[in-house]
Amino acid sequence: MRAATPAQPLLHTIGARLTIVAMGLICVLTVVTVVEYTSDVGKLRRETLEHQAKHLFDGLRSGRPPDFLKHCKRYPEAYGYRVFDDKNEILTEVNGGLFTDMPRYLNIGPPYLAYRHKARADIGLDQWLITSGKDTDRTHLWIQATLIGDPAALWREVIVEEVIEHVVIPVILIVPPLSFAIFLALRSALHPLSRIAECARDLAIEVDSGAPLQELQAEDLPREALDLVAAINVLLQKLKSMLAQQKQFTDNAAHELRTPLAALSLQVSRLPPSGPVEGLKSDVAVMGRLVDQLLRLAQAEQLAKAGFRTHDLRELARAACEETAFLAAERGRLLEFDEPSTPVLVSCNAEFIQIAVRNLIENALRATPVGSTISIVVSERAEITVSDCGPGIPDAEKPLVFQRHWTHRRRNGGGAGIGLALVQRIMDLHGGAARVEDREGGGACVTLSLETARFRDLARKLDVQNGVRL
């Protein structure tokens, strides 16, 4: 199965889309500029000549040959220019034959710019002429540039310059501050949604830890967010009602079944020993364990209300072993217990940790052959491992072990698939984890990891110490 792509923050999505819109706007403005100039030939020709006249003057002032000179030499029939002074004396001329019957413009006044258009019937093209006056340090120069047909497509330089000057530069100057302003506005507008998302995450943590469900707050929210919060709160109310009904049903069923089961067990114990009677006793014992597990599972949901205290994990595991030692001896199995020399302190509910360890031992007793040994090991990493010598669990079924009502042939009957589900729930409520591995030499190892609870306890102690220092 392909892994799901992580969801992007809404601000990132909006920013990406605004970037796409800005790029699209640049493209549209570029297209509009190109269409505007190419649709008006006269304007395009005038702008082209004005552009070249400017470069001619810059070249004359700097002493570098202008680029227009290359085009004049390559297309002598299409491009030409000449420079003359106020005395009407020509200083420089290239392809002067193109200026036949084209007048010189002198003393035309500011802004010293004039255009001339002439239809050339002999070649079927139009000729355009620009006359531009430029002041220098010593004199006033006149530059005339002409073109016929523009075979070198000099108009493209004009369009590129216009796009850069009127599209790219304004966008660069406007878009960053505008984007920052939009970002601040969006972040402020989306803050209520971020607050709802944070409350929803806290709610999920509370639900997972067994804490009571709290409705989301609806203060200072826009109307759309109010509708969302109202819908979530309605669902929470229904969920609270369903959980309360489920818990009440489980509690009542477990308590009500205990009395008749105890009476039935007493009556069966009075029957003369026989094969059917022993089978009936076993069935009644299984039913008793099932009822007890159901009651414990219902009580585990209220674990968060009881609170956690600091306990030595060695003592809890040892107590669970002592409680099941007689049962193991009765069934012809041995219990082996190992613990570190130093305390392993964790923040937990002692009763439920003992229930989890006891369930693992009882599950291992059903899987381990007679005469075998069950090993219970407490590590310094706040882990409890219960190992058996049974048939083991296939890798494909390991993820299913802690699911409710899952059973396997290794149980040899006597199980209802609730004990390991209760273990998993207790670990979830403690922020711990349970995992199943293969035992070296055959069998299975089930490990309860409470390292998170250990760190939580250490952090609490440090906070207290820091508070005392302060």
pLDDT tens profile 218-231: 777 777 677 778 88
- At residue 451, the pLDDT reads 81
Contacts with 133 (C-beta within 8 Å, 6 or more apart), sequence order = 108, 112, 113, 140, 141, 142, 143
Region 381-410: mean pLDDT is: 80
Look at the domain 305-459 and name its fold. Answer: Heat Shock Protein 90 (3.30.565)
- At residue 8, the pLDDT reads 66
Predicted structure pTM score: 0.47
Region 161-177: mean pLDDT is: 83
pLDDT at 389 over 70: yes
Domain 217-301 has CATH 1.10.287.130: yes
The identity of residue 375, as a single letter, is S
Domain with CATH 3.30.450 in the chain: 40-153
- At residue 446, the pLDDT reads 93
CATH architecture, domain 40-153: 2-Layer Sandwich (3.30)
Distance (Å) of CA 181 to CA 170, 174, 176: 17, 11, 9
- Bond prior to 111 in cis (omega within 30° of 0): yes
Whether 379 and 340 have beta carbons less than 8 Å apart is answered as: yes
pLDDT at 41 over 90: no
| Structural tokens at position 238 | 């229904």
Q: Name the phi and psi angles at 117, rounded to 5.
A: -120, 135
The residue among 104, 93, 164, 163 whose CA lies nearest residue 130 is 104
Least confident of 54-63, 148-157, 397-406: 397-406
pLDDT at 153 over 80: yes
Distance between CA 228 and CA 362 in Å, rounded? Answer: 47
Domain with CATH 1.10.287.130 in the chain: 217-301
Region 332-341: mean pLDDT is: 93
**pLDDT over 90 for what percent of the chain?**
13
Region 142-160: mean pLDDT is: 87
- At residue 386, the pLDDT reads 95
Domain with CATH 3.30.565.10 in the chain: 305-459
Question: Would you tell me how many other CB atoms lie within 10 Å of the CB of residue 11?
Answer: 13
pLDDT in tens, 258-295: 677 777 777 777 778 777 777 777 777 777 776 776 66
Q: In this predicted model, which residue has the larger pLDDT, 423 or 259? A: 423
